[in-house]
Structure 1
Amino acid sequence: MSLTTSLGSGQALRASRLPPDGLYEGPRELRRLAPGQPDRPYTLFDVVPLGPVIGAEIRGADLTRPLAPAVREEIDRALLEWKVLFFRGQHPSPAQQRAFARNWGELETNPLLAAGDDPEVARFDRSSAPSFENVWHTDVTFRERPALGAVLHLREVPPYGGDTMWADMASAYDNLAPEVKERLEGARAVHDFVPGFARFTPEERLIPFQDRFPPVEHPVVRTHPVTGRRMLFVNTSFTTRIVGWDRDESDRMLRLLFQQAHVPEYQVRFTWRAGDVAFWDNRATQHYAVNDYAPHRRVAERVAVAGDRPH
């Protein structure tokens, strides 16, 4: 980007250039709702926003009891509008956590993760052990049908640190340059579980899963099946290349797209207390578990809801 400006004094501003494909300052479009979607009030609980486009605390809903249909409907609307919901001090049992998640569909498990006392509940028991969640990612995009969403319960929290961050990938798409959007129209990318796990998992444990989870292709920009919003759907953990592009061109574009999750205006950051629950739309977000609490212990349990094929 070259810039030469004539000034009234007859002087000229020196030529300057920024490296291409960066993130630059300036106004960003922050739109929480899809075009034409009304901003209706909630009547069965309180919704406390934690940011302009993503993240809200739900007060007055009990996840440990069966949800009345009207409550389930309002939570679903809040999830679509805010992308990640937080419920303080719930302390659900694994069975209650599963029952809540089943309001949104069948559950799925990830055999690459450790299970808790309940085989349908993944457990993340972290202290001094390496953590592989501290990168921006969307869960299990290496599946043909990545998860619809996930319900995470923090059972034990460290004395400091251990926050989780989420980014709104609809805002990330909205703010791409028009020429980038045009270039991505119809583009598809390969997703593979191997690069996301190989740095922390012995080869002999991963090899048996190669046939079960072959590389899959998803659109680089997916359409949300309910809201219709367009969203970036590539992530650092699992996206390896854009189909049909030269490798250098693919790498350069993916680096640019991966950067978009790093924009604070698209993010929410949550500081946990023991017993808190988060429920996020995996189709519309990326998340990042901040690994800044060693040698203290952090124990979380997650239930995932099976999703659809991205389009």
Structure 2
Amino acid sequence: MTITVTDAGPPPVLREARVPEGGIYEGARTLRRLPEGWQERPYERIELVPQGSTIGAEVRGADLSRPLDPALREELKCALLEWKVLFFRAQHLTSGQQCDFARNWGELETNPLLARGSSEDVVRFDKGAGATPTFENVWHSDVTFRERPALGAVLQLREVPPCGGDTMWADMAAAYDNLPQEVKDRIDGATAVHDFIPGFARFYGPERLAPFQDTFPPVEHPVVRTHPETGRRLLFVNTSFTTRITGMEREESDRLLRYLFQQAHIPEYQVRFRWQPGDVAFWDNRATQHYAVNDYGPHRRVAERVAIAGDRPF
């Protein structure tokens, strides 16, 4: 049999199609939960149930209404550093118990711009059902407009809507790890200005904000901070409070910040928690951003938060 090979002709040509810069992401991302050299140890007092690949774990076997003994406290601290946000089901803490738990990790602080709960150390978020709207549904780290932003926070849901009202957290170490090298080169060593006014001017008028301008003047923080306990490099800018990158022209700064803000939106870096009444979340504000999903109106959602004072980012 004779087989005749014919010319298949020229290869097909695709039409030109321009993709905007940054419009295509690589499929594989580096999802590293632990710092390099971190020595994992087994947990003996608690059980951890991971909720995401790099961020978020449910803790079982801990009763937060009781004082923590040193061994349990050490395991919870280690779990927080490894997982960045911890979830505790059905704790039903009093405000005093919630504050006592938070004090295990440092002094408490309050935000005078937010509504008080049952004590001066507790902030209350009472939303839906005709309450005054606010805008927690934006990716942010808490109070980065402070010289020393919060170390972390303990949030408890008192009343949960029949559906919706979840909270999401994003791992800002993973966000930094996956930045292109040319972007890292631009932002390593850079600082950015943080200001409380943009985050609160959306729902408070000048008469409410003006008295706090002297209390909270604009501050500069590193665009990339180093976690003081793990040594991880963390992207540390957020939509609510970061206004510009120091030393850059406004247009260039805005363009770069928009790109950096978008990193928290990538699902591979996120965990999402569906609340039940009495649940508690404890997160590391240095390493994460969070977003309260506002999809429950006209139902009511009541949460109380206790914040833990932090240190100056470096």
- What band does the TM-score fall into relative to the shorter chain? over 0.9
**Alignment partner of 1:161 is 2:164:** yes
C-alpha displacement at 1:23, in angstroms? 5.6
Structure 2: distance between partners of 1:12 and 1:224: 50
User: Aligned to 1:285, which of 281, 288, 313?
Assistant: 288
Alignment RMSD: 1.2
Structure 2: distance between partners of 1:8 and 1:290: 56
C-alpha displacement at 1:8, in angstroms? 8.8
- Residue aligning to 2:228: 225
Tell me the secondary structure at the aligned position of residue 110 of structure 1: coil
Q: Which runs of 5+ in 1 are unaligned?
A: 1-6
C-alpha displacement at 1:299, in angstroms? 0.4
**Alignment partner of 1:253 is 2:253:** no
C-alpha displacement at 1:14, in angstroms? 3.1
Q: Quick check: 1:22–1:256 contact (8 Å CA) kept in 2? A: no
Structure 1: distance between partners of 2:103 and 2:22: 42
TM-score by length of structure 1 reads 0.96
Amino acid at match of 2:233: R
Tell me the secondary structure at the aligned position of residue 82 of structure 2: helix
Identity of matched residues, %: 73
Structure 2: distance between partners of 1:173 and 1:22: 18
C-alpha displacement at 1:119, in angstroms? 1.1
Q: Say if 1:8 and 1:90 are closer, same or farther in 2 by CA, change over 3 A.
A: farther
Structure 1: distance between partners of 2:248 and 2:174: 25
Structure 1: distance between partners of 2:176 and 2:87: 24
Q: Say if 1:211 and 1:16 are closer, same or farther in 2 by CA, change over 3 A.
A: same
Amino acid at match of 1:44: R
Amino acid at match of 1:276: D
Tell me the secondary structure at the aligned position of residue 259 of structure 2: helix
Q: Say if 1:8 and 1:154 are closer, same or farther in 2 by CA, change over 3 A.
A: farther
Larger C-alpha radius of gyration, 1 or 2?
Answer: 2
Query: What is the number of residues matched between the two proteins?
Result: 305
User: Aligned to 1:309, which of 287, 308, 312?
Assistant: 312
- Residue aligning to 1:266: 269
C-alpha displacement at 1:231, in angstroms? 0.6
Q: Which runs of 5+ in 2 are unaligned?
A: 1-7
User: Aligned to 1:143, which of 142, 146, 152?
Assistant: 146
**Alignment partner of 1:209 is 2:208:** no
Q: Say if 1:309 and 1:8 are closer, same or farther in 2 by CA, change over 3 A.
A: farther
C-alpha displacement at 1:257, in angstroms? 0.3
Tell me the secondary structure at the aligned position of residue 139 of structure 2: coil
Tell me the secondary structure at the aligned position of residue 38 of structure 1: coil
Tell me the secondary structure at the aligned position of residue 114 of structure 2: coil
C-alpha displacement at 1:130, in angstroms? 1.2
Structure 1: distance between partners of 2:55 and 2:222: 23
- Residue aligning to 1:65: 66
> Can you list the C-alpha shifts for 1:216-243, whole angstroms capped at 9, x where unaligned?
0000000000000001000000000000
Provide runs of 4+ in structure 1 moved above 6 Å: none
> Can you list the C-alpha shifts for 1:119-152, whole angstroms capped at 9, x where unaligned?
1100000013313100000000000000000000
Q: Quick check: 1:222–1:310 contact (8 Å CA) kept in 2? A: yes
More displaced 10-residue stretch of structure 1: 32-41 or 85-94: 32-41
- Residue aligning to 1:52: 53
C-alpha displacement at 1:39, in angstroms? 2.6
**Alignment partner of 1:187 is 2:185:** no
TM-score by length of structure 2 reads 0.95
Structure 2: distance between partners of 1:265 and 1:188: 26
- Residue aligning to 2:100: 99
